[in-house]
Structure 1
Amino acid sequence: MHVNQQSMSHPYNLCKNHMKQYVLIQTVDGQQIEGVIIDLDEDHVYLVTSGEGMERQFYPGFGGPYGYGSGFGYPYGGGLRRLILPLTAIAALSLLPWY
């Protein structure tokens, strides 16, 4: 495996190893997102977040908000929200304790 392939698969493997767990994701632009990883594909990680304290989020270079589609990626107010995040936006991932 080439070095580039290893680095590209790192966020995928990190998310796969923490599937269905409560995590803190730091993005390449320094934002922090807490949530539970509910799904994963080759390009995106799917999270459920509380939506509290989050503002409308855009990621330059991906042409729009983290969440693609109606209602995703726009966590206004309380309640649970689904967030779709490009794997290339992940700089770090940490496991968090359940409260």
Structure 2
Amino acid sequence: MNTYSKDHIQNLCKSHMNQYVLIETNQGEQLQGVIVDLDDDHVYVVTPVIHNQDQRQFYPYSGYYGYPYYGYPQGPGVGLRRLILPLTAIAALSLLPWF
């Protein structure tokens, strides 16, 4: 696998800003998403997430008068998550077509 400089990866990410891309990490993992932001050390990517029935989770947050309130469980469906990746962890980046 090729190892590119941090500047090369940063320029590649900058040229693909707000586009749907496939990112391969140095560990061989692949993820798809849209590059939404970039700084000197990190790339910010929004990726799709598919939830199935077994992945129900409750997200606690503070309710009225300090009582804890638990949000609705995530049932089956599709959502989005934001990932922050270090530029040095990216091995390759390629543009993907929208479906």
**TM-score, length of structure 1 as denominator length:** 0.67
> Helix, strand or coil: the match of 2:24?
strand
In structure 2, what is the equivalent of residue 85 of structure 1?
A: 85
Q: Cα offset for 1:51?
A: 2.3
Choose which of 22, 32, 35 in structure 2 pairs with 1:24.
22
Distance 2:92 2:50 in 1: 21
Distance 2:23 2:7 in 1: 16
Deviations 1:34-74 (A, max 9, x none): 00000000000000000239xxxxxxxxxxxxxxxxxxxxx
Q: Which residue identity lines up with residue 87 of structure 1 in the other structure?
A: L
> Helix, strand or coil: the match of 1:29?
coil
Q: Which has the higher strand share?
A: 2
> Helix, strand or coil: the match of 2:49?
coil
- For these two proteins, the number of residue pairs brought into alignment is 71
**TM-score, length of structure 2 as denominator length:** 0.67
In structure 1, what is the equivalent of residue 35 of structure 2?
A: 37
> Helix, strand or coil: the match of 2:79?
coil
In structure 1, what is the equivalent of residue 69 of structure 2?
A: none
Is 1:11 equivalent to 2:9 in the alignment? Answer: yes
Could you tell me which runs of 5 or more consecutive residues in structure 1 were left unpaired when the two chains were aligned. Answer: 1-5, 54-76
Q: Cα offset for 1:7?
A: 2.0
Sequence identity (%): 69
Could you tell me which runs of 5 or more consecutive residues in structure 2 were left unpaired when the two chains were aligned. Answer: 52-76
Which is higher, the Rg of structure 1 or of structure 2?
Answer: 2
